[in-house]
Amino acid sequence: MVIFMDIKELEKAFASNNGVLKTSQLSALKIDSRGIKRLISDGTIEKIKTGYYRFLSDDDTGEASIVSRLFPDGVLWLNTALFYYGYSDRTPMQWDIIISKNASPSRFEIDYPHINPFFVAPERLSYGVTTIEIEGCTMNIFDRDRLICECLKYESDMDKETFNKAIQAYIADPKKNIRNLLTYAKRRKAIKRVHDVIGVWL
């Protein structure tokens, strides 16, 4: 038998879980597989990947909420991080997330939002990581100096205009920390690149 709780109560349940509920959590709310299918068909909830659902409403769940819930171990970088630091005015078409190579690739097989994962050795995520508030969600992100260091390492993978604007924005940023940048560059073997690209502006 399909048992439906009050829609407002269901919305509260989703809201208290960053806008995303798992099948097991819906089951605990007395909503079985038939109930889930019914809620999907009437446009109340939407499946975002196997076993995960988001609540649909006029005040729709933001992408940041879903990303922070599904990938709490990921770190925002490159185009996504550049945008949120104001180093780029191009709204990202996907979420650039760097994550441990030990993470299962299947976690990223979701329909929404679009995720662009980059897998690295866990040690690469052990420094230069801070947090940022996006749409009310706290998310991991490379700090400004580590981000620019990574841009220098992956310049060939970036749009030239985006790269150049990011460098200029960083140089003009009073919050930059050149000492940190050089420390990161040493670890990432990018000292020469830092001197060649940024040194001339300092």
What pLDDT digit, counting tens, does each position of 174-187 carry? 999 999 999 999 99
Question: Is the Cα torsion angle 118, 119, 124, 126 positive or negative in sign?
Answer: positive
φ, ψ for residue 155 (rounded to 5)?
Answer: -55, -40
What pLDDT digit, counting tens, does each position of 92-117 carry? 999 999 999 999 999 998 878 999 99
- Selected residue with higher pLDDT from 12 and 58: 12
Q: Considering the entire predicted model, what is its pTM?
A: 0.77
- Whole-angstrom distance, CA of residue 159 vs CA of residue 181: 22
| pLDDT score at 16 | 85
What pLDDT digit, counting tens, does each position of 27-55 carry? 999 999 999 999 998 889 989 888 989 88
Parse the chain into domains and list their residue ranges. Answer: 7-61, 65-201
- Whole-angstrom distance, CA of residue 13 vs CA of residue 10: 5
pLDDT at 56 over 90: no
| pLDDT score at 199 | 87
| pLDDT score at 2 | 47
pLDDT at 4 over 70: no
* pLDDT classification of 18: cutoffs 50, 70, 90: confident
pLDDT at 201 over 90: no
Neighbour-count burial of 59, counting CB atoms closer than 10 A to its CB (0-12 exposed, 13-18 middle, 19+ buried): exposed
The number of residues making up the chain comes to 202
What pLDDT digit, counting tens, does each position of 124-174 carry? 999 999 999 998 889 999 999 999 999 999 999 999 999 999 999 999 999
* pLDDT classification of 202: cutoffs 50, 70, 90: low
- Whole-angstrom distance, CA of residue 43 vs CA of residue 27: 19
